[in-house]
C-alpha cells in the first residue's frame, strides 16, 4: 500500500523539483512510472520498520507516515546524489522509523495494533527457612 502520492510529493518539494528529478525521458513531464516506483520503494522500506510493531497493511495512513514516505521517495528520486537537506530529511525519517520499530515511538492515528507497553515480570523464591515458629525460643 503506497503511503504517498504525486500530490504529496509536489506539496513538499514543488513541481519544478519533481519535474527535474522524475522526468527521465526529457519530455517536460514527470514520468508516472518513476514516481510510482520511488513511492513504492519508500513504502516497502517503511513497512520493514513498521511491521515489527504494527499489523500490516495499516488500516489508514497517518500524516506522519506520509511525511516519511515523501522524504524517502525524494531521496530515491535523486539518483545522481541528493542535496544535503534531502539527505537530512531521509536520515531523520529512517531514525524515526527505527525508534518506532524498537518501541520508543508510537505513531498517532493508527487504529491497528500498537506495541504492548506493559511489561510483565515473574519471580520466585524458595520457601522461607526462618519462620516465626522455627525461631520461637531462640535467644
47-87: per-residue pLDDT in tens? Answer: 999 999 999 999 999 999 999 999 999 999 998 889 999 99
What local confidence, expressed as pLDDT, does residue 123 receive?
Answer: 64
What local confidence, expressed as pLDDT, does residue 115 receive?
Answer: 46
pTM of the complete model beyond 0.85 = no
Please name which of 121, 99, 94, 100 lies closest in space to residue 112, comparing C-alpha atoms: 100
Q: What ranges do the domains of the chain cover?
A: 6-114
What local confidence, expressed as pLDDT, does residue 132 receive?
Answer: 72
What local confidence, expressed as pLDDT, does residue 104 receive?
Answer: 95
Q: What is the mean pLDDT of the chain?
A: 88
Reply yes or no on whether the pLDDT at 108 is more than 90: no
What local confidence, expressed as pLDDT, does residue 106 receive?
Answer: 93
Q: What is the pLDDT of residues 21-36, one digit of tens each?
A: 999 999 999 999 999 9
Q: Given its phi and psi angles, is residue 28 left (phi above 0), alpha (psi -120 to 50 degrees) or beta? A: left
What local confidence, expressed as pLDDT, does residue 11 receive?
Answer: 97
Pull the grid cell for residue 70.
515523501
Reply yes or no on whether the pLDDT at 131 is more than 90: no
Angle in degrees, 0-180, between the axes of helices 32-50 and 84-101, rounded to the nearest 10: 30
Amino acid at each position: 500500500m503506497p503511503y504517498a502520492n504525486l500530490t504529496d510529493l509536489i506539496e513538499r518539494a514543488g513541481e519544478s523539483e519533481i519535474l527535474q528529478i522524475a522526468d527521465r525521458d526529457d519530455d517536460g513531464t514527470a514520468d508516472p512510472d518513476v514516481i510510482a516506483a520511488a513511492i513504492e520503494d519508500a513504502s516497502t522500506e517503511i513497512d520493514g520498520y513498521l511491521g515489527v510493531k504494527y499489523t500490516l497493511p495499516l488500516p489508514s495512513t497517518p500524516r506522519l507516515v506520509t511525511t516519511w514516505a515523501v522524504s524517502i521517495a525524494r531521496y530515491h528520486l535523486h539518483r545522481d546524489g541528493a542535496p544535503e537537506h534531502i539527505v537530512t530529511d531521509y536520515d531523520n525519517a529512517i531514525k524515526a522509523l527505527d525508534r518506532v520499530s524498537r518501541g520508543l515511538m508510537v505513531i498517532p492515528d493508527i487504529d491497528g495494533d500498537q506495541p504492548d507497553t506493559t511489561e510483565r515480570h515473574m519471580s520466585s523464591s524458595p520457601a522461607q527457612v526462618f519462620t516465626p515458629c522455627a525461631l520461637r525460643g531462640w535467644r
